[in-house]
Amino acid sequence: MKHILHVVGARPNFVKAAPVLRAIRQLGMRQTLVHTGQHYDRNMSDVFFTELQIPEPDFNLEVGSGTHSWQTAEIMQRFEPVVLERKPDMVLVYGDVNSTVAAALVCAKLLIPISHVEAGLRSFDRTMPEETNRIVTDRLSDLLFTPSEDGDANLLSEGVPKERIHRVGNVMIDSLIQFLPAARNIPKNGFPDRFALVTLHRPSNVDDSQNLQGILDSLMEVSVHLDIVFPVHPRTRQRIEKFGIDAEKLHLLEPVPYIEFLSLQTRAAVVITDSGGIQEETTYLGIPCLTLRPNTERPITVTLGTNILVGEDKKRLGAELRNVLAGKAKKGVIPPLWDGHAGDRVADILQRL
């Protein structure tokens, strides 16, 4: 019997791994789940495991936070003995976080086959730490599961042999489709009728005091016309406090659980974000998305979906918001294979090989 070991560490990993774990379980393969502990707060980790019905991890490496090199190295040191003990036939890594690249490096050194779920995405922006993680993980992977055509094209242009690339669709959308009915059932909980949903956590937006102040100032201007609902990532909360920024008018919330956040997305008039996954979720839901980044590794959300890159341009943000409020938001379509069965395709391919 094949033995598959999954590595997850940060919030978006949990959403991506859940449908793959389920599909592999249904095929009866042996599985081990390793949580690196990159995210550890209850509402960044445990709540997601419960809601997404992910089994308790077999190992929690409890790595915690640190610089990128420290965190990556620490995960490698703690993960190596687990792989040596469990001897899996294949290790699955997800997305582009530090846990992803750390686990891939360990497996590459031990000659254990690696599958990368959400392979091939490129922002072509090396200032973004995730871009390095994507490039290195893809280079080391034996099987590359891509969500969209652009992923295949990027990998082929980097010389990855065609037979290693499998376009399976978007595993994050599998979770969305599964939990959408539950999200729609959540009561409104006193949220305003019409609101903009905001998330912000990219180092390029929140680690520099002037950038963060500029973005929060723009949001405060927006809040004059439209209520803002803003669940704040711990990293962003720390920076707001450290820089002494007065963001009281924005009614900052704690990070919200997965299904509640999905419910907020379905009800939002517009989503303003710098997240990767949220660009995809809004495209699926047909909700306008204004992305506070100059580029995206998910271009299909712009070409087919509802996403607009507004970068750091305050005027552009204001203009696009006025469009949305005037009922002239960009319309989109759901990209091919974002159909709720990406995890099944991954499991089928792993079983066949």
Give residues in contact with ligand UD1 (CB under 6 A).
10-12, 38-41, 44, 65, 96-98, 129-130, 201, 233-235, 238
CB 62 → ligand UD1: shortest distance, Å? 11
Nearer to ligand UD1, 216 or 329 (CB): 216
Nearer to ligand UD1, 146 or 273 (CB): 273
CB 83 → ligand UD1: shortest distance, Å? 20
CB 1 → ligand UD1: shortest distance, Å? 32
CB 187 → ligand UD1: shortest distance, Å? 26
CB 201 → ligand UD1: shortest distance, Å? 5
d(CA 301, CA 47): 28
Q: Catalytic residue among 201, 225, 233, 341, which?
A: 201
* Cross-strand pairs, 290: 272, 308
Nearer to ligand UD1, 96 or 320 (CB): 96
CB 229 → ligand UD1: shortest distance, Å? 18
201 is catalytic: yes
Nearer to ligand UD1, 125 or 339 (CB): 125
Residues forming the active site: 201
